[in-house]
Amino acid sequence: MNIEELKKIREKMQKEIDLRSGEKAIKVVIGMGTCGIAAGARPVMAAIKDELSRKNAESVTVTQSGCAGFCEQEPLIDVFLPGEKKVTYGKVNPDKARRIVQEHILGGKVVNEFVFAQEK
């Protein structure tokens, strides 16, 4: 483990955390059950994290959930924007995930062509 590198992260992040309001309102949940993992959820999560940090949107919470029962639609991701209904995207791949980050999570516009289900 490279301890020096980790110390640098601490110094850098400590300053940034102080600046943040502390509220993480936007949430993305990725299905990480056996079905999700087998269908490619891990690279989807990596793409989402990467896209968020490239856009300096590190205050978005990215979490995992288990199998939702729609294994054939995996990888599934849920997007929660403050004050809006949950949107679930199905059969997501890293490219689709990057578009969802840009257009929906950061842009506020649902990417209708990838939607599997939308809360009414």
Partner 1 sequence: MLELSLHILDIVQNSLAAQASQVEIRIREDLGKDLLTLEVEDNGRGMSPELTRRVTDPFYTSRTTREVGLGLSLLKLAAERCGGRLEVRSQEGKGTKISATFGLDHFDRAPLGDMGETLAVLICGNPGVNFLYEHGVDGQTYRLATREMREILGPVSLDEPSVHDFIRQDVQQGLKKIKAASFPKIMEVLR
Burial class (CB in 10 A: 0-12, 13-18, 19+), 65: middle
Please select the residue that binds partner 1; options are 25, 38, 85, 118, rule is CB under 8 A: 38
d(CA 74, CA 39): 6
Q: Which of 22, 25, 27, 42 binds partner 1 (CB under 8 A)?
A: 42
Binding site for partner 1 (CB under 8 A): 1-3, 5-7, 9-10, 12-14, 17, 32-35, 37-38, 42-43, 45-46, 49, 52-53, 58, 63-64, 66-67, 69
